[in-house]
Structure formats: structure tokens, C-alpha cells
């Protein structure tokens, strides 16, 4: 990457200005308030996809993010509903719970590679759904409904975040929350990938045996990466439960897990910001095609196949190709 420091800072500032100022202004000017919900979903889904991307980065195909998103949603919902916790406290707890679960699950299954790992994680999504159906605490197929909106968060008497229920426009609040988390998440990802650990992860992606023979603790690294990935999944699931104020076993299914993976592919596996772009394009594309009615899925999947044929290395590889030419 030969982009110099100043352009990089300018790009970050421009991005922050767009998501925090330009988008809300544009939406209130155009009166399309429903777009808040769409954009919030994009932000949250891209957090979960970022997690999937991280597992791609260590050379594993992860189709199990739906399981952790579902778990995170349930952990948050149960803590809020049954134990009266504040939503803000349940958010990190949901993430940490998923991370802990993923360490336990990851220790054995991260020994698998290639399609075996992909298929086990796919099965994991089904396991999560069936568990949610079978366990007594999750209330079966009826799910957990009418979860209260997030309350106020105050530290030492200073209100940092107002009670969402008292706000006139809770959509804007959720949008800002989701976008903030997305920015934090991708900042962490960027930092992680460009750190020593990131380089080590890349060595795992290329050749685990070689990395291991040089002295890289591969078992430790891949569990860490998988735990971070699941943490993101859990957090995004928890916020989803809070926004929709409900969670069902079918809230996150195999289709969602596959979609998280597709977001990464579409954006480009070689780029940290790939999952964000991929989610935006896929989610908006799906929404835009809504007008085509019964042909929605046909056109959507057809376009996806064409995209794959033209740009098999992701949308962001386009930028690289033009840079090379220029």
C-alpha cells in the first residue's frame, strides 16, 4: 500500500464526516427516515462480517457467524428481561460470552481446515438455532419479545447516552450507535491487521506448518482471532435484538451466516474494509431490487454471479487494478 499518510488521514476524516454528519443531514432533508433502519442494519451486519473476515484472514472459511449473533442476541435479551440488567452492560457481556463460547468450541474445531471447517461452522449455525428452540430459557419458537429499548447510560451522574425510549427519534440514536460501533470495530480491525499479530495471522493463512516451525504459536493465534471474530458477532446480534425489540430462533439462520461470508467475498478478502463495502452493496442491492417483486432473487443472484465472473477478487480489487494501470 503506497497511499501516503496524509491522504489516508483525509480519507478517514471524510468517511467520518459522511457517516456522522452528511448522512443524517441528507436523510432529514429528503425525509426518507426509513433509510436509517437500512443503514443501521448495514452497519451492524458489517460488524459481524468483519468478524468473518478476520477468520478468513487466518485462512478459515467461517459460515458460523449467525450462531454467535444469535447467541449474543439471546444473552442480551435474557439479561435485560429476566435479570433487569441495563442494555449497555449486556452489550459487552454478550460479546464476551460469545468470545468465551468460541474459545471452547474453537479449540477443537480450529484444528480443521478448508471445507471441513466451513461445514462444521455451517452446522454450528444450525446447532445454535436448534438449541434456541430446545432450551427452556430461550422460550422456544415463541422467542423473547417486547424487550425494552436501551435505557440511559450515566457515569458519575453525567448522562452520556439518554434513554432511548424518551427520544423523539430513536432511529437516529440507533443509527449513531451502530455507526459508532462500526467505526470502532473497523479501527480495531485495521490496527490488528497492521500489527505484529496481523502479520502472524497472514502467515497462518499462507502456511500453518511453516509458521509453526518458525515458532509461531498457531493454536493460540487462531483461537484469539476466532474469539475476536465471535465477539463482533455477539455484539452485533445483541444490538439487533435491541433494535427489533425481539429475538427468535430464526432471527439468524444459515442464510445469514452465508450472507456474512458473501459480504466478505464481495468486498474482497484482501482488504480490511472489504466487509463494510460488501455489506453495503449487498444489502442496498437487495433493498433496491425490492421493486422488481418476484424477480428480486433472480436478478440479485444473477448480478452476484456476473460480479463474481468479472471481479472474482472482490470489489476493492477494482481500485487496485486501476492504480496499477495508472
Partner 1 sequence: MEQVIANGLYLGAQYALIALGLTLIFALMNVLNFAHGQMYVLGGFITYTVYGQLGLPFVVALLASGVTLAIIGALMEKFLFRTVIRRSHREESTMLLAAATAFFFDAVILLLFGEKQRGVPKIVKGVFNDVGIIMPYDRIVVGALAIVFIAAFVLYMQYSRVGRAMRALAQDRVAAQLMGVRVDRYSMIGFAMGAMLAGVVGGLLVTITGVNSGIGGPISIKAFLMVMIGGAGVVGGAIAGGFILGMMESVGLTVLREYGDVTYLVIFAALMVFLSIRPNGLMGKPWG
Contact positions vs partner 1 (CB under 8 A): 56, 61, 105, 108-109, 111-116, 118-120, 122-124, 126-127, 130-131, 133-134, 254-255, 258, 261-262, 265-266, 269-270, 294-298, 300-302, 304-305, 308-309, 312-313
Give the Cα separation of 121 and 62 in Å (integer).
Answer: 6
For 44, residues 6+ apart whose C-beta sits below 8 A from its C-beta are 178, 181, 182, 236, 239, 240, 243
The Cα-based distances of 297 to 168, 174, 279 in angstroms read: 36, 29, 17
Least Å from the CB of residue 260 to partner 1: 11
Beta carbon nearer to partner 1, 80 or 266: 266
**Cα-to-chain-centroid distance, residue 95:** 12
Beta carbon nearer to partner 1, 170 or 317: 317
Beta carbon nearer to partner 1, 40 or 46: 46
For 4, residues 6+ apart whose C-beta sits below 8 A from its C-beta are none
Beta carbon nearer to partner 1, 25 or 115: 115
> Whose CA is closest to 180, among 207, 140, 153?
153
Least Å from the CB of residue 163 to partner 1: 39
Least Å from the CB of residue 9 to partner 1: 29
All three cell numbers of 30, joined, read 429528503
Beta carbon nearer to partner 1, 50 or 110: 110
Tell me the β-bridge partners of 153.
161
Least Å from the CB of residue 206 to partner 1: 11
The 3-state secondary structure of 56-103, one letter per residue: HHCCCCCCCHHHHHHHHHHHHHHHHHHHCCCHHHHHHHHHHHHHHHHH
Give the Cα separation of 316 and 144 in Å (integer).
Answer: 39
Beta carbon nearer to partner 1, 92 or 312: 312
Least Å from the CB of residue 259 to partner 1: 9
Least Å from the CB of residue 301 to partner 1: 4
Cα R_g (the chain), whole angstroms? 20
Least Å from the CB of residue 302 to partner 1: 6
Nearest 5°: the CA angle 107, 265, 197 is 45
Beta carbon nearer to partner 1, 108 or 215: 108
Amino acid at each position: 500500500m503506497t497511499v501516503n499518510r496524509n491522504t489516508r488521514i483525509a480519507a478517514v476524516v471524510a468517511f467520518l464526516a459522511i457517516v456522522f454528519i452528511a448522512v443524517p443531514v441528507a436523510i432529514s432533508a429528503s425525509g426518507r427516515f426509513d433509510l436509517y433502519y437500512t443503514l443501521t442494519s448495514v452497519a451492524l451486519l458489517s460488524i459481524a462480517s468483519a468478524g468473518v473476515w478476520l477468520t478468513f484472514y487466518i485462512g478459515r472459511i467461517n459460515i458460523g457467524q449467525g450462531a454467535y449473533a444469535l447467541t449474543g442476541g439471546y444473552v442480551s435479551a435474557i439479561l435485560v428481561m429476566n435479570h433487569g440488567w441495563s442494555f449497555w452492560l449486556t452489550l459487552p457481556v454478550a460479546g464476551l460470552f460469545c468470545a468465551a463460547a468460541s474459545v471452547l468450541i474453537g479449540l477443537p474445531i480450529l484444528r480443521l481446515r478448508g471445507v471441513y471447517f466451513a461445514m462444521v461452522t455451517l452446522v454450528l449455525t444450525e446447532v445454535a438455532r436448534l438449541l434456541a428452540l430446545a432450551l427452556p430459557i430461550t422460550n422456544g419458537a415463541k422467542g423473547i419479545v417486547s424487550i425494552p429499548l436501551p435505557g440511559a447510560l450515566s457515569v458519575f451522574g453525567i448522562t452520556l447516552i439518554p434513554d432511548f425510549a424518551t427520544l423523539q427519534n430513536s432511529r437516529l440514536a440507533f443509527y449513531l450507535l451502530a455507526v459508532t460501533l462500526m467505526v470502532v470495530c473497523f479501527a480495531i480491525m485495521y490496527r490488528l491487521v497492521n500489527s505484529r499479530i496481523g502479520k502472524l495471522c497472514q502467515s497462518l493463512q499462507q502456511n500453518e506448518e511453516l509458521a509453526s516451525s518458525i515458532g509461531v504459536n498457531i493454536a493460540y493465534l487462531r483461537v484469539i482471532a476466532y474469539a475476536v471474530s465471535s465477539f463482533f458477532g455477539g455484539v452485533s446480534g445483541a444490538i439487533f435484538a435491541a433494535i427489533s425489540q425481539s429475538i427468535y430462533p430464526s432471527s439468524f439462520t444459515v442464510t445469514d451466516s452465508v450472507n456474512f461470508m458473501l459480504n466478505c467475498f464481495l468486498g474482497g478478502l484482501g482488504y480490511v474494509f472489504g466487509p463494510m463495502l460488501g455489506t453495503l452493496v449487498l444489502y442496498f442491492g437487495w433493498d433496491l431490487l425490492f421493486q422488481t417483486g418476484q424477480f428480486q432473487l433472480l436478478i440479485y443472484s444473477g448480478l452476484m454471479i456476473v460480479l463474481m465472473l468479472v471481479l472474482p477478487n472482490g470489489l476493492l480489487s477494482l481500485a487496485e487494478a486501476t492504480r496499477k494501470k495508472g
